[in-house]
Chain A
Amino acid sequence: MLNITRRMLIISAGLATILTAAPAFSADKIVIGFSQASSNSAHRNTMTKRNQAYAAEHFKDVDLIVTNAEGKSAKQISDVESLMVQGMKVLMISAQDSAAIAPTIKQVLAAGIPVITLERSLDIPVTLHVGPHNKPIGTLAGKYIAEALKGKGNVVEIKGDPAVAPAVERHEGFAEAIAGTDIKVIAETHADWDQEKALKFMEDTLQRFPAGQIQAVYAHNDNMAFGALRAIQAAGRDKEGILIIGIDGENAAIRAVAKGDLTATFTYSTVAPEGVIAAHALATNDTAALEKLGTLTKKDDGSMEIEIASKMITKENAAEFFCKGFGDDPECK
């Protein structure tokens, strides 16, 4: 009996502390919730950190609460629910799984809280989606290769993980861009964004196609482009002038482009600080701020979208992008 009473006392004391502390924590500030899907990629971590840093520096009136679902949809649902309890005015979310989170997002919208999806869109209409588009990036890469090779040549395509949209769309855009030219994809694989897998595949492919038979490598991300580069260098075929094209604009890749090791890469926005700027704009009804972020489209169902266009990085302009991408670069510290 005594034990139970004591436990009840402790629990109620704890509850009381939380209840009194919570409002004090965000007294008269605008609470913005940011539900991040996972922390196992430099792209997502940059998204989180740059948004946090920008908010801390520029929005003194904002209390940005970040949660991390660690790659689990179930956790992301409870993260969003806890953000609602904390009185958020706007939700920014980068979804782990577009379908799994949809019902929760509907509840958030029903509660009158605007929702901004970052980078990964949902199947249901939300207030605003901000992010880069994958297909146009593939198209840019295809057009670049077609021009550089004057419409004729053999390309090796190293694709990402086929289970996710970026790999599918980066392929589609590329295939459309080279359709009708004499550019042929002579070998392809899914290296699942993994450098070692790309390297291994490229080693074999270099054996299959001797000197002069490969004009370009199109890798769906910079990491795999590096794998191809190492295989080409190790085989002593870096003098053939094989074009190596990556995507994402990682800091290390931007350096490699400047050095001439990689031929080109295309930025894939981390939606930072655009995410928190958009959230602040919605919270304060400052629509003018939204227009500055990128191409704003208003859809029939009332939702909005801002596309952050990809930029092409080649040797000529690489220096402008030093340290503005994401990922580790020893010279950016």
Chain B
Amino acid sequence: MKYLPRGTGLAGALIVLIIAASLISPHFLNPINILNVLRQVALYGILGIGMTFVILTKGIDLSVGSIVALVGVTGAVLMEQGVPIPLMVLICLSIGALVGCVNGLGISYFRIPAFIMTLGCMVMVRGFALMIADGGTVNPGKLADSFFVLGGGYMLSVPTPIYVFAAVCIIAAVVLSFTRFGRAIYAVGSNEEAARLSGINVPLVIFSVYIICGVLAALSGLIFLSRLSVGDPNSGLGLELEAITIAVIGGTSLFGGEGTVLGTIGGAMVLAIIANILNLAGVSPFSQQVVKGAIIVLAVLLEAGRKPRK
């Protein structure tokens, strides 16, 4: 298997999944269902892309789920106060950037381990969300229709989040493959010392990836808010694990330096299809978790089997 090109395991798993899914349920290939699945891919894929940037530098960001919650309640409160939508969106994205900044500063300049730093932020940011929402959900009343389009609407009969996800993927792929910054990210993840000696500003690179991850989490939070039309400070629990899973299934190495945008898209698709088909097949909620876990391990095994052991 080690002579097969990169990503073969994942592509194979995806094809097997799609064939199995269409055999298990006649509804799977229904165009509306496909669009449903793609919307799920988009919602979680955006978080997965942010996580890919961070994991490429050998980092981790546990605060993304909390950012989704904080952005949700802040956005809802701002709308409630009649703040214009574009300004609200800008403020929310800045919140993501700000949390990313705090994470990045702690990790790159104060050398706090990423796991601890982002864990701290995860708890703190969730606290802010609960404070702002006073524990309950924030209901902005009648949402501006133009905002609902972002999460719940369609453009040319394709759900809007898919366009957002596509844009994010294209930009991310260009940055990672064709810019000096992208190459620096891979270099820092593969060998930090070598990267530093070759003149890369390592702390700056690490700092930047957390801001990217924070902004993408905020973008995802805006889509969740638009989709649900209420801000829920308890939403997004466990999303960080979902994002990490997506990146890892997609072939991003937790040891840094290895991973692609295309892989992450594939990872998001695997997770979304599994969840969809289990519901379509009417599998009991408890068995669903077992099956999901097993398929995740299997997908990663298939991908790992391709690589020669170090």
Which A residues fall within an 8 A CB radius of B? 39-46, 159, 162, 186-190, 194-196, 199-201, 203-205, 207-208, 210, 223, 226-227, 230, 234-235, 252, 326-331
Residues of B contacting A235 with CB < 8 Å? 32
Which B residues fall within an 8 A CB radius of A? 25, 27, 30, 32-33, 36, 40, 80, 130, 133-141, 152, 224, 227-230, 232-235, 237, 275-276, 279-280, 282, 284-286, 288
Contact across chains for A42 and B152 when beta carbons are under 8 A apart? no
9 A-B residue pairs with CB within 8 Å:
A39-B130, A40-B233, A42-B136, A186-B282, A188-B285, A199-B227, A200-B275, A207-B280, A330-B80
Contact across chains for A196 and B235 when beta carbons are under 8 A apart? yes
Q: Roughly how many angstroms separate A230 CA and B279 CA in the complex, as a whole number?
A: 18
In the complex, which of the residues B32, B137, B141 contacts A207, with contact meaning CB atoms closer than 8 Å? Answer: B32
A39-B135, A162-B285, A329-B139 provided; 19 other pairs, C-beta below 8 A? Answer: A39-B130, A40-B135, A187-B279, A194-B235, A195-B235, A200-B40, A204-B36, A204-B276, A204-B279, A207-B27, A207-B33, A208-B280, A223-B232, A226-B230, A230-B229, A327-B136, A328-B133, A330-B80, A331-B141
In the complex where A45-B134, A204-B276, A328-B136 touch, is A189 in contact with B285 (Cβ < 8 A)?
yes
Of B32, B136, B288, most buried by chain A (CB within 10 Å of CB) is: B136
Residues of A contacting B36 with CB < 8 Å? 203-204, 207
Residues of A contacting B229 with CB < 8 Å? 230
Q: Roughly how many angstroms separate A77 CA and B4 CA in the complex, as a whole number?
A: 60
Kindly provide the distance from the CB of B245 to the nearest chain A CB, expressed in whole angstroms.
16
Contact across chains for B279 and A42 when beta carbons are under 8 A apart? no
Decide if the interface of chain A is mainly helix, strand, loop or mixed.
helix
Q: Which residue of B lies closest to A331 (CB)?
A: B141
Q: Which residue of A lies closest to B35 (CB)?
A: A203
Would you list the 4 A-B pairs with minimal beta carbon distance, nearest first? A42-B136, A204-B279, A330-B141, A207-B33
Q: Which residue of A lies closest to B239 (CB)?
A: A196
Residues of B contacting A331 with CB < 8 Å? 141
Kindly provide the distance from the CB of B77 to the nearest chain A CB, expressed in whole angstroms.
10
Residues of B contacting A227 with CB < 8 Å? 228
Residues of B contacting A46 with CB < 8 Å? 136
Q: Which residue of B lies closest to A329 (CB)?
A: B139
In the complex where A39-B130, A252-B230 touch, is A223 in contact with B137 (Cβ < 8 A)?
yes
Kindly provide the distance from the CB of A292 to the nearest chain B CB, expressed in whole angstroms.
29
Contact across chains for B136 and A230 when beta carbons are under 8 A apart? no
